[in-house]
């Protein structure tokens, strides 16, 4: 029971997995693969409309057309860009409803029951990227839909066929998300050894240094002349873990990571480098380090969870290409860290500049 509660309280893996796939240069392939899967899911009810065994009533055909239209829109999204977490959740909910509607409107209950196997692909995706709450919704919808069609087959007189079909579909729908959960666990271990923080999807310290070095490479072309580094430390975060639990603390860290993403400009580099410590680096045209620090402080303060942060910021003029990028970064990080501690000693929820 303890393990079930732990699994239920885990935040979803969307951000860190998205970052990990991008780091491994397979996010584009994954996006196209998801688009192709959605095309196939939309093609099935579309082809059934042309079949003599397909939906015949007005309502059934209208539902099938609506499902095809929804799948076309979802496929376009996947083929054009990597969706945000909110768009991914919306995709999962809409796809869940589309599969259920398609399976329920087919006149032949056996075909409708076999169509429930499509829930396996969706459950695998949700188990891979999202939380147990969303996965439970998909599995519950699959269970209700398949049970309705199974009862219809049983009422027609072939009870054993109904049971066999239900068991085969149940194995597929449950096995795929279970395998996805195991894969996420393994990828999480791998990510910890690479450049990605497995909880938030941000870079870890090693990934931060590497990404900033890439940003400052002379081969990268013309760049703005200022490099700003901010160190962010959440105020009194240990109290959150002690009084509200580590699961709540993890959810707050994920929310803070999302807030920092929204508060930074591209191509900023954001990293989680400690339990509640974050680093941000931006290359900008003007020295607006104070404005950057205040923007980051306000972003954390506006995050759900009642958390605040102390921010330290340091800025360096890139008048020449640095001979030793790592030494420069180390110096800036140390300066920003010292400034952050001045802000924390002054009461927190404020920033200081080195």
Q: Write out pLDDT tens, residues 73-90.
A: 989 989 998 888 888 999
Band (219; pLDDT cuts 50, 70, 90): very low
- Sheet hosting strand 309-317, strand order edge to edge: 269-272, 277-284, 226-234, 309-317, 351-353
**pTM score, two decimals?**
0.59
pLDDT at 221 over 70: no
pLDDT at 185 over 90: no
C-alpha distances in Å from residue 143, one per residue of 8, 124, 174, 272, 330: 19, 15, 10, 40, 55
pLDDT at 203 over 60: yes
pLDDT of residue 348: 92
Q: What is the rounded distance in angstroms from the CA atom of residue 258 to the CA atom of residue 261?
A: 5
pLDDT of residue 166: 83
- 165 compared with 259, residue with greater pLDDT: 259
DSSP string, 285-353: SS--HHHHHHHHHHHHHTSTTT--EEEEEEEEE-SS--S-HHHHHHHHHHHHHHHHHHHHHTTSSSEEE
Q: What is the mean pLDDT of residues 299-303?
A: 93
């Amino acid at each position: 029971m303890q393990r079930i509660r732990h699994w239920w309280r885990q935040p979803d893996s969307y951000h860190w997995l998205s970052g990990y796939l991008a780091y491994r240069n397979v996010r584009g392939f994954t996006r196209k693969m998801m688009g192709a899967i959605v095309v196939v899911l939309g093609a099935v009810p579309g082809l059934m409309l042309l079949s003599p065994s397909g939906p015949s009533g007005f309502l059934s055909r209208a539902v099938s057309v609506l499902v095809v239209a929804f799948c076309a829109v979802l496929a376009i999204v996947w083929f054009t860009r990597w969706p945000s977490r909110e768009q991914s959740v919306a995709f999962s909910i809409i796809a869940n409803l589309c599969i259920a509607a398609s399976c329920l409107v087919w006149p032949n209950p056996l075909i409708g029951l076999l169509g429930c196997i499509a829930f396996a692909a969706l459950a695998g995706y949700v188990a891979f990227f999202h939380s147990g709450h969303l996965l439970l919704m998909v599995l519950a919808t699959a269970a209700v839909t398949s049970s309705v069609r199974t009862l219809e087959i049983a009422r027609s007189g072939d009870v054993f066929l109904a049971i066999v079909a239900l068991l085969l579909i149940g194995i597929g729908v449950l096995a795929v998300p279970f395998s996805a959960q195991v894969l996420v666990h393994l990828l999480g271990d791998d990510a910890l050894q690479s450049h990605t923080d497995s909880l938030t999807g941000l870079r870890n310290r090693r990934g931060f240094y590497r990404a900033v070095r890439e940003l400052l490479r002379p081969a990268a072309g013309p760049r703005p002349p200022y490099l700003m580094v901010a160190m962010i430390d959440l105020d009194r975060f240990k109290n959150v873990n002690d009084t509200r639990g580590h699961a709540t603390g993890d959810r707050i860290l994920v929310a803070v990571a999302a807030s920092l993403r929204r508060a930074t400009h591209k191509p900023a580099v954001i990293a989680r480098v400690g339990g509640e410590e974050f680093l941000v680096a931006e290359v900008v045209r003007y020295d607006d380090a104070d404005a950057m620090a205040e923007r980051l402080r306000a972003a954390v303060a506006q995050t759900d969870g009642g958390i605040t942060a102390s921010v330290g910021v340091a800025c360096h003029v890139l008048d020449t290409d640095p001979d030793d990028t790592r030494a420069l970064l180390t110096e800036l990080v140390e300066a920003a860290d010292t400034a952050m501690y001045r802000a924390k000693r002054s009461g927190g929820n404020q920033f200081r500049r080195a």
